[in-house]
Amino acid sequence: MREILLFLVAVMAFKIVLVFDMGAAAYGAKAAELSAGTTIEQWAGWAMQLDPVSHFIVDQVRFAGW
């Protein structure tokens, strides 16, 4: 159970770093592009969607002035 939780935290951290690096619009476009690809790319596109928790964290960090 611990490994699964750590994996999910790592995926969310990766998504947050990508949003900051690419920008929200480019990140959304890339996730949509993945969703239109092969089966594995569709899975990746689904996993990389900006979920409410990731979106909240991005907003908090961006507007907190970090």
**C-beta separation of 7 from 14 below 8 A:** no
For the whole model, what pTM was predicted? Answer: 0.73
pLDDT class of 50 with cuts at 50, 70, 90: confident
The residue ranges of every structural domain in the chain are 2-64
Say if CB 20 and CB 57 are below 8 A apart.
no
What does the block give as tokens for 39?
């089966």
Average pLDDT value over all residues in the chain: 88
CA distance linking residue 66 with residue 62, whole number of Å: 7
Kindly report, residue by residue over 12-31, the tens digit of the pLDDT.
899 989 998 888 889 989 98
Q: Report how far residue 2's alpha carbon sits from residue 50's, in angstroms, rounded to the nearest whole number.
A: 23
Structure token pair of residue 26: 């480019």
